[in-house]
Amino acid sequence: MFTTTTDVRFAHVDPAGIVFYPRYLEMLNGAVEDWFGDAIGSSFAELHIDRRVGTPTVHLEVDFKIASRLGERLDISITPLRLGKSSCRIAVDFSCKGELRLSAELVLVCTDLDTLSSTPWPDDLRAGIERQLVPAS
């Protein structure tokens, strides 16, 4: 499991001072970007610019549990659940002081950015994801 944090900023909230739900998806994407750079070993800049590899989200399920407020620090955990030839299903949880705020599952697909078609995970990315996979039960 990979964990990162983010602060709820003014740009994330609505007039009520709680996170406007689309902003959670921006934070989620930022956490995935951190996961690739810090845990998998290849930053999004390297992937997209140098290697021409993308990882678009092709499926997303989100459960919003409790509102988050301006100034709170959110812990975001990412756990890879299943790795396919060119796809990866991950679980993402947002929490604050141990209280679950959002849970999501998404599927990322390894994509050749020049052809915009799926492609097998490069060996180094596959190995980085495999190191973190939750064993099947």
Query: What contacts 74, CB < 8 A, 6 or more positions away?
Result: 5, 6, 7, 8, 27, 68, 94, 95, 96, 101
Residue 72's identity, in one-letter code, is: E
Note the pLDDT of residue 134: 78
Strand order of the sheet with strand 111-112?
53-54, 111-112, 117-118
Does the pLDDT value for residue 136 go beyond 80?
A: no
Does the pLDDT value for residue 73 go beyond 80?
A: yes
CB hemisphere CA count around 36 (13 angstroms): 22
State percent of the chain over pLDDT 70: 99
One-character DSSP codes across 44-76 = HHIIIIII-EE--EEEEEEEE-S--BTT-EEEE
| pLDDT tens digit sequence for 80-127 | 999 999 999 999 999 999 999 999 999 999 999 999 999 999 999 999
Q: What is the mean pLDDT of residues 48-58?
A: 98
**Using an 8 Å Cβ cutoff, are 4 and 31 in contact?**
yes
Q: What is the mean pLDDT of residues 48-56?
A: 98
Q: What is the mean pLDDT of residues 13-33?
A: 96
Note the pLDDT of residue 137: 64
CATH number of 2-130: 3.10.129.10
Q: What DSSP state is assigned to residue 81?
A: E
Nearest to 37 by CA among 23, 22, 55: 55
Note the pLDDT of residue 2: 97
The pair of structure tokens assigned to 135 is 């064993």
User: Angle 101-44-35 (CA atoms, 0-180°, nearest 5)?
Assistant: 40
